[in-house]
Structure 1
Amino acid sequence: MFAEIAFLLYLGHLLADYPFQTDHQAAHKAGCGRQGWTANLSHAATHVLICALLLAAGSALLGWHLPALPAVAAVLWIGATHGFIDRRWPVAAWMRIARQAGWAAHGGAAHVDQTAHVLALTLAALFLAA
């Protein structure tokens, strides 16, 4: 069941990060003030909604019996971690600590960002499959 859950959560991540993320969210989700936080939280909420819908579909179609409270906790975890990572400073801090300034200057931050998101999704899938 882990593989199916992980796949659906990853699909939800891709859907929320690419076709369902607005230009405004992408441009402002790391910004300060109300505009930045609104963009960030609405983007994170998109992740929560899409992942919840995919988990519900997986439960219905594949006969899973996911307990409601852990499933809610998992999608809230996804939303919270996604919003945190997308503030951008955590990725920049990691790359600074890991001495990856050269890679950061050549587009590496996007890869570190996506790896952090996949780690959070994997932890959610492990939690739900356990």
Structure 2
Amino acid sequence: MPDRTSAFAPLFVAAYIGHQFGDHVIQTDDQAGGKQKPGSSGWAANLRHVASYHAAVAVTVATTVRVTRAPVSGRGLLAGLALSAGSHALIDRGWLPERIMAATGSPGWAAMTIKTDPDGAPWRPGVNRADQALHVGCLWAGALLATWLSEKSTRGAAGSPAREAGRV
């Protein structure tokens, strides 16, 4: 019977690779520059980013599950992706990383701003690092949730390893 790590490890690694593509390669300038703007235009840019980001994550995860035959259910995958999408949308609005940094004693690091070239647009390295750490933490939680739900949904099913081993 495959143990839980046979699903968790490939799910987490695949989601992390999809994260790298989605957040750093395919995110458009419009999405990056607009997702923290107030109102519906900010939410629209944010949700376009979340959609393209999770398309990349879904491709890397689905490919990995297919090739490795990781024991994961569709229900588990959908729950993990939903957790990631919801958390990603909230994190990328910007206020959550800032509030967490203020609560943990690093408001100065959160407020630090560096002007970038060529247009002098502000970049906030502290908030950027917190944003990335929160995303990776949520990917971990999503992979853990997918693994847990997959194990529960296949436990005891006819023909399942648990039933065949006489443990059900």
RMSD over equivalenced CA pairs, Å: 1.3
Deviation at residue 88 of structure 1 after TM alignment: 0.3
> Deviation of residue 109 (structure 1)?
1.1
AA aligned opposite 2:109: W
- Structure with greater Cα Rg: 2
Q: What number of residue pairs does the alignment pair up?
A: 130
Give the Cα–Cα distance (whole angstroms) in 1 for the partners of residues 37 and 48 of structure 2. Answer: 13
Equivalent positions of 1:36-55 (< 5 A) are: 36-55=42-61
Asked which structure has the greater RCO (Cα within 8 Å, sep 6+), the reply is 1
Unaligned runs of 5+ in 1: none
Letter paired with 1:47: Y
Out of 81, 85, 99, the residue aligned to residue 79 of structure 1 is: 85
Aligned with 2:19 (options 13, 20, 26): 13
Q: CA offsets, 1:22-57, max 9 Å, x none?
A: 001000101112211111001111222121122211
Residue among 120, 128, 133 paired with 1:115: 133
Structure 2 partner of 1:30: 36
Aligned-partner Cα distance in 2 for 1:109–1:65? 36
For residues 85-104 of structure 1, the aligned pairs below 5 Å read 85-104=91-110
Contact 2:10–2:65 (CA under 8 A) maintained in structure 1: no
Q: Structure 2 length normalisation: TM-score?
A: 0.73
- C-alpha distance after superposition, 1:34-93 (max 9, x if no partner): 211111001111222121122211121111232111111111111111110000001111
Structure 1 residues 91-112: Cα deviation after superposition (integer angstroms, max 9, x where no partner): 1111111221221233211111
* 1:48–1:76 Cα contact (<8 Å) kept: no
Query: Please, which of 115, 126, 130 is the counterpart of residue 144 of structure 2?
Result: 126
Residue aligned with 1:99, SS: coil
Is contact 1:44–1:83 with CA below 8 Å preserved after alignment?
yes
Runs of 4+ in 1 over 4 A off after TM superposition: none
Q: Whose helix fraction is larger, Structure 1's or Structure 2's?
A: 1
